[in-house]
Each structure stands twice: as C-alpha cells, then as structure tokens.
C-alpha cells in the first residue's frame, strides 16, 4: 500500500468517527508504575475517584487532557465518561502517565538524570512544582517501594 493510500485511510477513519491513537512512548518502567500506584492508592482499584483523582494512579482530568485524552478501546475522547473510563482502566491510565511524562518529563531532583523519582514527583506535584518536597507519606511509600524493587533486582541478578 502506498503512503498516500495510508494517509487517506487514516483520514477516512478519523472522519468516519473512529479515533486512531498512535503508539504511546513509554519512559516509565513497569516497576516505577507499580511504586507510583502503591504510593498513590495502595493499588486499590475499588476507590474509583477521590477528590477528582481517579483510578489506581489517581489521574486528574487536567493530566488526562494534557496527555492527549487517551481512551479505552471503542470509547471516544468526547464522551462524558471517557476520562473516568480511562483513569479507572489500569492500561489506559498507565499509558496516560506515559504520555504525560513524554510531555513533561524532567530532572526534578537535580541529579542530572530523568528517572522514576522524577516521574513520581511530576505526577504527584505537577510538572511546574516537582522540585518541591513531596508529602512525607507519599514519598516514604514511594521510596520504600523503589528500594525494595532495586534490592529484589540485585538478588535476581546474583542468583
């Protein structure tokens, strides 16, 4: 299929009412997502939305919009329920965080690298306030989870 045919096909799908989503870049490791989930909600999927933050990652409407309004399969970003449907779906929510970090990822703790600690700070405190101190409870759970994951990685590599 020639590239012009592909362009017309994609435009046709978009104009036909179907939403085409590009593959999401993924700067956040799976272990980092687990630690964010632990620190934010204890990975408790039963509490749907708390004070406007939804799902196991406690994603806000603004984060979802900034991330490109990702949706679960078959949903449109224009429906009233598309935000909560995505935020409460672990895969859609994780992809939302990935997109958010592609857009806002930065070195928040001045260690000259962009890593999980920075992503945790950006998600919890926002991209323009990520250099501030994280709240104690969130930070302690988050850091403990990261330390445990690093320790487990070292054990696996040595065995």
Task: Report the CATH number at residue 76.
Answer: 1.10.530.10
* Whole-angstrom distance, CA of residue 41 vs CA of residue 55: 8
CA angle 19, 23, 25 (to 5 degrees): 135
**4-to-1, 9, 105 alpha-carbon distances in Å:** 8, 9, 34
**Which pTM was predicted?**
0.81
Residue 115 in this model has a pLDDT that exceeds 90: yes
Residue 137, domain member (yes or no) = yes
pLDDT digits (tens, 9 = 90+) for 132-157: 999 999 999 999 999 998 887 667 77
With respect to residue 93, please indicate whether it lies within any of the assigned structural domains: yes
* Any domain includes 46: yes
Domain tally, the chain: 1
Is 25 inside a domain boundary?
Answer: no
Determine, yes or no, domain membership for 36: yes
Q: Which domain holds residue 132?
A: 30-158
């Amino acid at each position: 299929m020639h590239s012009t045919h592909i362009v017309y096909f994609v435009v046709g799908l978009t104009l036909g009412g179907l939403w085409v989503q590009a593959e999401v870049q993924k700067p956040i490791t799976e272990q980092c997502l687990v630690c964010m989930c632990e620190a934010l909600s204890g990975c408790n999927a039963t509490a749907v939305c708390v004070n406007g933050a939804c799902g196991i990652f406690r994603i806000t409407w603004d984060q979802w919009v900034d991330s490109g309004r990702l949706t679960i399969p078959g949903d449109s970003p224009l429906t009233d329920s598309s935000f909560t449907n995505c935020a409460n779906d672990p895969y859609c929510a994780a992809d939302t965080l990935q997109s958010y970090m592609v857009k806002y990822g930065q070195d928040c703790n001045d260690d000259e690298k962009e890593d999980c600690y920075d992503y945790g700070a950006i998600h919890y405190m926002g991209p323009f306030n990520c250099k501030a101190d994280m709240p104690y409870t969130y930070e302690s759970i988050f850091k403990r989870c990261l330390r445990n994951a690093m320790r487990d990685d070292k054990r696996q590599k040595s065995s």
